[in-house]
A = this chain, B = another copy of it.
């Protein structure tokens, strides 16, 4: 089939490259963008460029920010004695949504995964260790994903930190709130039993 309308084909291809977007969806999105008012399309294009230009890693916690130091690190009301270590910025967003945590973060930007060639140098462990020289820090909460890679990363980092005399904790495992016990997998359930708490 000849390329009928080059700019349209190009737009469809661009959408098709995004994760989880197939040919049909890419077509639908491209036509939707075409039918947008000019101003709205301009805003969309600009937001892509702007995000790319302005967003970089926070000098302290490595989370994504448009300032030199992110809003969490520069907030004087946050508890500077706890650092919650996560794999990505999305995890920071998820924990912030709970409104339960008031400490700082450290974003690793990945997890150790020798199979995928991701070692210590690919994630921000070095930056984390540097931060720990601050005597104010009392506790590190490992909140990497409950996957093999996340676990390994948490174990590895906790072994690095423990000799420094800083408390290291891990997110509790257990059954998700609102879920049906019947459908919980065996590993989760046995972890929930292990970690049972007195009431």
On A, residues with C-beta under 8 Å from B are: 1-2, 4-8, 10-11, 13-14, 18-21, 25, 27-34, 36, 38, 41-55, 64-66, 70-72, 88-90, 92-93, 96-97, 99
Q: In the complex, which of the residues B19, B33, B36, B64 contacts A5, with contact meaning CB atoms closer than 8 Å? A: B64
Interface of A is mostly: helix
A7 touches B44 (CB 8 A): no
Instruction: Tell me which residues across on chain B come within 8 A of A1, comparing CB atoms.
Output: 96-97, 99
B19 touches A29 (CB 8 A): yes
Given A4-B72, A31-B89, 13 extra CB contacts under 8 A: A1-B97, A4-B65, A4-B70, A4-B92, A5-B71, A7-B51, A8-B51, A8-B66, A11-B47, A19-B32, A30-B51, A36-B52, A42-B49
